[in-house]
Amino acid sequence: MNIIETLELLEKGEAQIGFVQGSIAVEADRYMLFVVPIAILILPLLSRSPMLLTLYNRRKITRQARLRRARLQQAAREAETGAAPPSNGAAEEQHELSVV
């Protein structure tokens, strides 16, 4: 089978390309030619979206509040039990990471 016959079969949708039928592969290529440029144009706009920035900042603030609350609870527990606070920053940081 030569190239011309293969192209004619592809146009009719009767040729096999790997595991995918030719007509499906052609349609997928057409959609990709349409979707990829649109995505390239829209994604930078979405990254600067006010809604997304608001959600990002809200998550940061919530995380900081949780860390602060965990530190206060730990200090309250240590005050109740009379335990000494952590002697180095690494232990405190490890505790913060385990709380979140």
- 55 and 41 housed in the same domain: no
φ/ψ of 20, rounded to 5, equals: -105, 135
The alpha carbon of 39 is separated from its chain's Cα centroid by a whole number of angstroms, namely 16
- 62 and 36 housed in the same domain: no
- 18 and 42 housed in the same domain: yes
When divided into structural domains, the chain yields a total of 2
Domain end, chosen from 47, 66, 82, is at 47
- 89 and 67 housed in the same domain: yes
**pLDDT tens figures, 53-67:** 898 899 999 999 999
**pLDDT tens figures, 6-47:** 777 767 766 555 555 666 777 778 888 888 888 888 888 877
Number of neighbouring beta carbons within 10 Å of residue 57: 10
**Which range of residues forms the domain containing residue 66?**
50-99
